[in-house]
């Protein structure tokens, strides 16, 4: 009776495991097609990243491409003490110095261009208006250059675009506005094409040219109550909270399918190049760990005795170390480089191979064909390579497949913590961290790289489980 009840319960459990959500989940795990498709796409993406990526993963393209007049230091003029960011009752506000001077027939001498105090005095003396010369602070890039004391213009007097036009230097707008590398590109371009040594001033990076707060609010979808239109602090808060203008985050568009990150770089392009970086780093690390682990497992299983004991105790000690903490300490002490990261991941990946290969070798070395090889005078190296290694290759393949997913996840964790792939190289973990601050307003910055990590790791785990079921005869019988 008890056996009958047990059989009925077992039958019910088996039926439940093959139907419903559990059954669907088991079918996915045992059906490798989805995993193979995902991993094939990952490999193709890594191989052809330069062709597939629609934009550069390192170049940030600002929303605005309007640059300030050539001779003014990205400043605006607010007339009659009206708030800088409001256009009310037809008064001219948010004008550049050049536009305001033309509007009020004020002559700005070359020697005072860029001098806010002198400009205010000129407006007062010549037009009897109170002009408030203020710095811009919202969204885009106006980089200015300083050619030094011997330059034919006043230092920090020309922006890059105007200076390039004046001296016949050819640069694309993307290169000029790029917040990461625009300065380097500009300096090299001026030196090569015009023989001029210039210096890009970082202080002049975030500067837009807007006509009024109404126009800016309409462009960025910011709602400002009418009673707050004269309150500069309230207007600034509205732009920062509703449009996040302090960063250069891009919303998804037809040109930027997945949007942009916190400094305007195309997220899709960074995901594509991040796949290549992760695959290369993990492949090298896994190959190194596999070579170390399989070699140590063969030696430990074949020789046994003291050698086996030493190798296994070292393995146990290594498994007990907190790897993430050790990796962070190493990066702080030595530095953050690709070689350091690959070395750390390689040292993490060898231990599973040692244990499993050793166990297989302990069983294989008692087989008749191994004994016959010894009697025939085969060397130890030949026996390991030609007789033992083929017997453990299935186990090695399964472990390697499962280990790839773990290494990708570990690399992402290290990059998230700032101890992984050095910036500005795209890394999925670092991209998740970049969007952490903007998770409420720009969720896509963290979501898409996080989803890629999840999809790849799950696919590798499913594929590893399927391969284990196929290669292990004991599981195959079940």
Question: What is the rounded average pLDDT for all residues in the chain?
Answer: 70
Q: What is the distance between the alpha carbons of residues 251 and 269, in angstroms, rounded to a whole number? A: 15
CA dihedral 464, 470, 476, 478 (to 10 degrees): 30
Tens of pLDDT, residues 436-465: 877 777 788 889 999 999 998 888 888 888
pLDDT of residue 473: 53
pLDDT of residue 42: 84
Residues whose CB falls within 8 Å of the CB of residue 433, separated by 6 or more in sequence, listed in order: 415, 416, 417, 418, 446
pLDDT of residue 58: 72
pTM here? 0.57
**Three-state SS for 96?**
strand
Q: Which domains does the chain have, with CATH numbers?
A: 75-243 (no CATH), 267-477 (1.10.3720.10)
CB atoms within 10 A of CB 463: 22
CB 342 within 8 Å of CB 285: yes
Residue with token string 């007990």: 320
CB 68 within 8 Å of CB 142: yes
Residues whose CB falls within 8 Å of the CB of residue 120, separated by 6 or more in sequence, listed in order: 130, 131, 132, 133
pLDDT of residue 154: 31
pLDDT of residue 29: 60
pLDDT of residue 239: 63
CB 341 within 8 Å of CB 415: no
| Residues of the chain where predicted confidence (pLDDT) is lower than 70 | 1-31, 59-100, 110-116, 131-163, 165-166, 171-185, 197-221, 229-233, 236-237, 239-250, 471-478
Tens of pLDDT, residues 69-103: 333 333 444 443 333 333 323 333 445 566 667 77
Tens of pLDDT, residues 287-306: 999 999 999 999 998 888 88
Q: What is the distance between the alpha carbons of residues 76 and 415, in angstroms, rounded to a whole number? A: 41
pLDDT of residue 437: 75
Residue 343, classified by CB atoms within 10 Å of its CB into exposed (0-12), middle (13-18) or buried (19+), is middle
pLDDT of residue 454: 92
Q: What is the distance between the alpha carbons of residues 115 and 109, in angstroms, rounded to a whole number? A: 10
Q: What is the distance between the alpha carbons of residues 322 and 318, in angstroms, rounded to a whole number? A: 9
Q: What is the distance between the alpha carbons of residues 352 and 216, in angstroms, rounded to a whole number? A: 58
């Amino acid at each position: 009776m008890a056996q009958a009840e047990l059989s009925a319960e077992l039958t019910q459990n088996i039926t439940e495991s093959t139907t419903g959500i559990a059954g669907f989940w088991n079918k996915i795990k045992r059906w490798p097609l989805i995993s193979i498709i995902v991993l094939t796409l990952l490999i193709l993406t890594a191989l052809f990243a330069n062709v597939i990526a629609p934009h550069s993963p390192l170049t940030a393209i600002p929303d605005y491409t309007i640059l300030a007049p050539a001779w003014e230091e990205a400043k605006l003029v607010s007339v009659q003490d009206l708030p800088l960011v409001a256009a009310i009752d037809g008064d001219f506000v948010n004008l550049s110095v050049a536009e305001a001077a033309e509007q009020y027939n004020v002559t700005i001498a070359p020697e005072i261009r860029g001098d806010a105090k002198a400009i205010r005095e000129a407006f007062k003396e010549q037009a009897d208006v109170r002009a408030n010369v203020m710095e811009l602070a919202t969204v885009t890039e106006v980089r200015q250059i300083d050619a030094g004391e011997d330059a034919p213009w006043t230092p920090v007097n020309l922006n890059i675009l105007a200076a390039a036009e004046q001296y016949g230097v050819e640069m694309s707008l993307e290169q000029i506005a790029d917040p990461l590398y625009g300065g380097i590109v500009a300096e090299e371009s001026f030196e090569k094409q015009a023989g001029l040594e210039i210096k890009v001033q970082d202080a002049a990076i975030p500067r837009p040219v807007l006509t009024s707060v109404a126009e800016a609010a309409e462009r960025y979808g910011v709602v400002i109550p009418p009673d707050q239109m004269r309150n500069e602090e309230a207007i600034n808060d509205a732009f920062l909270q509703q449009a996040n203008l302090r960063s250069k985050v891009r919303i998804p568009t037809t040109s930027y399918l997945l949007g942009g990150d916190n400094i305007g770089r195309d997220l899709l392009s960074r995901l594509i190049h991040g796949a290549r970086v992760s695959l290369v780093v993990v492949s090298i690390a896994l190959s190194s760990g596999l070579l170390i682990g399989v070699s140590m497992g063969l030696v430990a299983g074949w020789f046994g005795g003291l050698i086996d004991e030493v190798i296994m105790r070292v393995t146990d000690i290594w498994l007990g170390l907190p790897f993430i903490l050790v990796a962070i300490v190493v990066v702080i002490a030595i530095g953050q480089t690709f070689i350091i990261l690959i070395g750390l991941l390689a040292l993490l990946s060898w231990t599973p191979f040692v244990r499993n290969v050793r166990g297989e070798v302990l069983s294989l070395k008692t087989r008749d064909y191994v004994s016959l090889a010894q009697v025939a005078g085969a060397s130890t190296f030949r026996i390991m390579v030609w007789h033992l290694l083929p017997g453990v290759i299935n186990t090695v393949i399964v472990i390697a497949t499962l280990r790839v997913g773990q290494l990708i996840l570990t690399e992402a964790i290290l990059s998230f913590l700032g101890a992984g792939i050095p910036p500005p190289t795209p890394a999925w973990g670092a991209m998740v961290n970049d969007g952490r601050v903007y998770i409420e307003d720009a969720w896509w910055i963290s979501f898409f790289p996080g989803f890629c990590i999840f999809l790849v790791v799950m696919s590798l785990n499913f594929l590893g489980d399927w391969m284990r079921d196929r290669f292990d005869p004991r599981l195959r019988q079940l």
